[in-house]
Amino acid sequence: MIDVTLKRILSFVVLVLVQILLLNNVKFLGFITPYLYIYFVLSLPSSVSKEMTLFWGFLLGLTIDIFCGSLGCNALATTLIAYLKPYFQSFFGPKDDYDEVKPSTATFGFEMYLQYVAYLTIIHHLVFFFVEAFTLSRFWSVLFSAFCCTLFTLLMILSLEYFKHRRR
């Protein structure tokens, strides 16, 4: 149990560090930044309660916000997907009654996992970008950049999954 928690905290720290030190400096084509850190929320196993998922999500978003200087934006978006995540997991995940299911291409199957990740990522990005813009007057340009970043984030999450499974 302690081992699991420790591993979780470690992956939290690593993802936050990668996000703030590396990925936030990526400005592909001037505006595309991948938000890989949500991978942490997405891959929380089903044994984690909904409340704990929410707390993790909020904490993760807040940490990113503190380092990005966009206090609240990431927290809001990440809390939202942390709230939705259990429902999406039960919808896309395996219907068999496992004790613990950690979302991945292995447990979900590639197609289901892709859908699961894609939906949550796009929700997160849309909310994040619109909250950051805080206006509907630049609707189309905000929508466009949200979609571009979603593609980039998806690509990174899938490659991360791919490498994890090759290692095993």
Partner 1 sequence: MRTLILFLLKFKTLFLFLGLELISFLLIVNNNQFQRNHFLSSSNRVVGTLYNLSNGVNKYFSLDEVNESLARENEALNTEVVQLREQLAFFRQDTSYKGRRYRAAEKSYDFSTAKIIYFSTVRQKNIFTINKGLSEGVKVGMGVVSEKGVIGIISNASSHFATVMPIVSTLSKTSATVKGKTQLGQLVWKGGDIRYANLEEVPLYIPVAVGDTVVTSGYSSTFPEGYPIGKVLSFSERNDNLYDIKVELSVDFDKLSYVDVIELKGSEEKEELEKKETAKFEK
Residues that bind partner 1 (CB under 8 A): 50-51, 54-55, 57-58, 61-62, 65, 70-73, 75-76, 79-80, 83, 131, 134-135
Residue 50 or 165 with smaller CB distance to partner 1: 50
Residue 105: C-alpha distances to residues 11, 42, 62, 102, 167 (Å): 18, 12, 28, 10, 14
Q: Which pair of tokens denotes residue 28? A: 């592909």
Structure tokens at 127: 């909310």
* Shortest separation between residue 163's beta carbon and partner 1, angstroms: 32
CB of 71 to partner 1, least distance (A): 4
Distance between the two ends of the chain, CA-based, in angstroms?
Answer: 22
In the chain, where does DSSP find H-type helix?
2-17, 39-42, 50-68, 73-92, 105-108, 110-133, 139-167
Comparison of 51 and 99: residue with beta carbon closer to partner 1? 51
Q: Which of 85, 84, 104 is nearest to 94 (CA)?
A: 104
Smallest gap from residue 84 Cβ to partner 1 (A): 9
Minimum gap (Å) between residue 3 Cβ and partner 1: 27
Q: How far is the CB of 113 from partner 1 (least distance, A)?
A: 24
Residue closer to partner 1 by CB (options 1, 136) is 136
Cα–Cα distance between 149 and 136 in angstroms, integer? 19
Cβ nearer to partner 1, comparing 53 with 150: 53
Fill in the DSSP letter of residue 70.
Answer: -
Q: Is the CB of 7 or the CB of 138 nearer to partner 1?
A: 138
